[in-house]
Structure 1
């Protein structure tokens, strides 16, 4: 018991520790294995009706129309048993849970995420794998922390580790996974979090490589050959991508906002009808993998056909995600960005003839569109570098990313689509700066343990006892039959006079952070909270308001 308490004390402090690194590795491995099961489930389901993964062209037109409708009905049937209210999934939901529940994910949401997204991806909806990877990874690692009853700040870190492992396992991009967690999920860079997240991402990538091999998704691309003379066209591509990102984010969030009051059943059926109708005419737009990209690159298509594919892909993605189909957004926006880049290359080809123009602009479009839609330029850059396995892409990709983000953000007031989704769904994702700072420290790591516990003690008893009056320990009295059984007698000496103030200690779980302690005490700006173990009558220590005030003023806290 004492060793477990000592472990929790160590993990409660915002410092790098080998214990946290070991937990990150375990959580990362659990998350990666779940993602592998998720990926294999999609592949196994698709084998029943298509010859190759995500190749919906092998289906006849009527089957392409029917497949999304059947998929939507299966998702609805499963969610009928687990509860429609647990259909909130994906990156926005995980961000919300990080703020309101320290990253602890309800089981039913996780079940709906796994089963629902497997069906959605297998039935041709234009949704991605990374949203489920984030959700499933977070759920796996936070479950580990919950079982061990670790401090909430540690569970939050483990949640971030699971997210990194999930993304790394899905795309074999460990570095992009780490930056995505820091730039999009946590939105802060702290060394004590950064190292465990890196370990989890490495573990996720290694486990994936042992099952699926070391290849990346876009290694088939030709080596990029963009010259300095082509950079002005790259800037124009970034402008186009920035405008497109604004349109995508705007209409996706509008659809979420205006459809929120409609029951989930008609919403899903409308999304399935739109996907089926567009898939009937344009099968390459179905799914979220690389089918649409390879079709656009490997065939000399006209601008009209490519632009039609771009519009169809955007409509499919907006309708599926906007109407609540479970799945992620990054996979589709990578495809949309690539198709948009290829569309632009057909026009630029009249001015700069090049055999590699399609593939060059496709990669540039991926980077620019991902950066502008997510407002995550660094994560977008590293994702494209790792997916294509080309270091030469960095300079031109930076040009596209900066131009697209400036146009989208400054001139069109576009923001991260994930943050926009949270706002239109009224999901809390921000905390006041004080609470955000205090969330990093667990109360069990800072609690005062130098206390003496007495039964039914009173202020008169203390005044009558010189030993109690002069004690250096905190004097605690345990009262019987009380919901708040502990009283702390604060003793101060003013000249030769002894002043005693009795504070009713507010019970607080040892898993809590200083943020919860602060919220309980800030109204009174004095007193303390009683840190308990399994029950409220098991006193482990206390945290005073003075300790919290000291941390807020000086940046350090002393137990």
Structure 2
């Protein structure tokens, strides 16, 4: 499991981790529904509340979230997809428990309180935390924990939306940002498990399967290009001002930030209830009022403002749900105009789907994930070609004209969180030290140069000679270990025979090096570490090695040398 290859062990753990992640996400979904049943007639249907209740509900929800954050510590309120991307780079996907606790309860309250946030952010966080915890509990190599983290994310998304294919592509395109077969197969298995679990509990249905079959033809493709341009511009502006809000709000304390988000959400919800929630209510409103352009434009503005303030000011939750809602409203607006210009039936419904796909692709910089998400959510294969037109145009416009990037990476940049590493570290973190360490060790205690030379002659050539100097202890009381490096081309010369006090020859022959021999102090490294950690420990001295221990730091189970790392980076092979 320390090697970057598909194995039955990692596949089995992907299934187990995916099952645990999916069950946790299902519990999260049920928690939201149980809370909403206390005051809503239907999930996310805030129209059933009176205007005063719509204003009060986000404020009450923010107070509950703040109370949960106060119990765990406000510093653990950082959650969501950007945080998971950060932890993947700095901690191999291992996520602190208190952040996960805030993600579960904080996001459940936020989603039930009408904030314009999505369920996919919590699904990603909870799935990653659950599966990585399984790997951490089993003390697996960090590269395997990273793979399990990806599996948990796929299972969480599949369990949330019943979209296994989109879940796999989202993980590879947005989270891992690479397509590797040793990651792809376990992720697929986890996504299948997540989808099967959610189908067994909620039924084999999709979020937007009520959309009628699209009727867009070749005559509408020019209008789809215009829609793609509009969505690309809108996505660039949305990302830009959301990031600006994140940047300028970081200096504010968490309490005024949350209360400001609650007040804005409550005020807009008082006027436009369809803008509250994840985005499903906005889509329902768009379908019911697709001939009223003024109402749609006001809903679009309200939804954008509510989403930007909620996410920009730190309310826990995801962005994909609101982004799909915003895209649907924008598509409905375009559908109203197109229906007046071009003949056709149900054009508003068709343009809603196009808007969902195009705006999601341009905002997240994930065109393939957006395409497959809309296809699976609606169950319509006919959507593929027109959606590809909109997605392509929107992605090109937002990238080329505005230099727009994924909203997740833009958030990480403005927050100063690491989400990428140098290419050398990227390559080395895929391999665990257990896969390459030298295990045949000959550990000497307080060895001299002569005794080391003698051991080199008497032991196999592939055995390392380790010097364990017990008498040389640091102030911490830890033993110091050395690796004896010598030039193999320099012959060992036997010392002259000596006689003891009785005049007899000594039976033991001693040797010495006529060449140069160096003793390199070995640096301790956990058996869960990857070659990236070994490289960082040795890169300054560019020689020597690290010794691998399992639990006790003095229990050496292997050694990795800098020469092994150099050879892999140059030749692409392990030695």
| Residue 278 (structure 1) aligns with | 268
More deviation in 283-292 or 324-333? 283-292
Q: 2:290·2:296 contact (CA, 8 Å) conserved in 1?
A: no
**Per-residue CA distance 1:62-103 (angstroms, 9 max, x = gap):** 000000000000000111010000010000000000000110
Q: Does 1:550 align with 2:540?
A: no
Q: Does 1:515 align with 2:532?
A: yes
| Residue 340 (structure 2) aligns with | 350
Alignment of 1:531-542 (within 5 A): 531-542=548-559
Q: Which of 467, 474, 481 is equivalent to 1:486?
A: 481
Q: Which of 193, 202, 213 is equivalent to 1:223?
A: 213
Matches of 2:349 and 2:531, distance apart in 1: 51
Name the SS for the 1:508 alignment partner. Answer: strand
Matches of 1:79 and 1:520, distance apart in 2: 36
Given the two structures, how large is their TM-score scaled by the length of structure 1?
Answer: 0.96
Matches of 2:176 and 2:426, distance apart in 1: 11
Q: 1:505·1:528 contact (CA, 8 Å) conserved in 2?
A: yes
Matches of 1:467 and 1:200, distance apart in 2: 52
**Per-residue CA distance 1:156-195 (angstroms, 9 max, x = gap):** 1100000000001000000000000110001011000000
Q: Which of 539, 542, 545 is equivalent to 1:528?
A: 545
Compute the RMSD of aligned alpha carbons: 1.2
Q: Does 1:184 align with 2:165?
A: no
Matches of 2:406 and 2:441, distance apart in 1: 49
**Per-residue CA distance 1:94-136 (angstroms, 9 max, x = gap):** 0000000110000000000000000000000000000000000
Q: 1:68·1:123 contact (CA, 8 Å) conserved in 2?
A: yes
Q: Does 1:71 align with 2:88?
A: no
Residue 477 of structure 1, CA deviation: 1.9
**Per-residue CA distance 1:173-230 (angstroms, 9 max, x = gap):** 0000000011000101100000000000000000000000010001000001111011
Q: Which of 236, 239, 258 is equivalent to 1:246?
A: 236
Q: Does 1:388 align with 2:378?
A: yes
| Structure of greater Rg | 2
Q: Does 1:448 align with 2:438?
A: yes
Which stretches in structure 1 are left out of the alignment for 5+ residues? 1-10
Aligned length: 548
Name the SS for the 1:253 alignment partner. Answer: helix
Matches of 2:465 and 2:536, distance apart in 1: 24
| Residue 436 (structure 1) aligns with | 426
Distance 1:493 1:406, change over 3 A: closer
Q: Which of 416, 420, 423 is equivalent to 2:406?
A: 416
| Residue 462 (structure 1) aligns with | 452
Alignment of 1:73-88 (within 5 A): 73-88=63-78
Alignment of 1:41-52 (within 5 A): 41-52=31-42
Given the two structures, how large is their TM-score scaled by the length of structure 2?
Answer: 0.94
Matches of 2:190 and 2:78, distance apart in 1: 25
Matches of 1:370 and 1:223, distance apart in 2: 21
Name the SS for the 1:333 alignment partner. Answer: helix
Alignment of 1:7-156 (within 5 A): 11-156=1-146
Residue 499 of structure 1, CA deviation: 3.5
Matches of 2:458 and 2:524, distance apart in 1: 24
Q: Does 1:203 align with 2:193?
A: yes
Name the SS for the 2:114 alignment partner. Answer: coil
Residue 522 of structure 1, CA deviation: 1.0
Distance 1:466 1:74, change over 3 A: closer
Matches of 1:393 and 1:484, distance apart in 2: 66
Residue 498 of structure 1, CA deviation: 4.5
Q: Which of 287, 290, 298 is equivalent to 2:288?
A: 298
Q: 1:463·1:469 contact (CA, 8 Å) conserved in 2?
A: no
More deviation in 498-507 or 417-426? 498-507
Residue 513 of structure 1, CA deviation: 0.4
Q: 2:327·2:357 contact (CA, 8 Å) conserved in 1?
A: yes
**Per-residue CA distance 1:362-400 (angstroms, 9 max, x = gap):** 000000000000000000000001001001111000000
Matches of 1:503 and 1:458, distance apart in 2: 14
Alignment of 1:259-270 (within 5 A): 259-270=249-260
**Per-residue CA distance 1:303-352 (angstroms, 9 max, x = gap):** 11100000000000000000000000000000000110000111111111
Matches of 1:34 and 1:69, distance apart in 2: 27
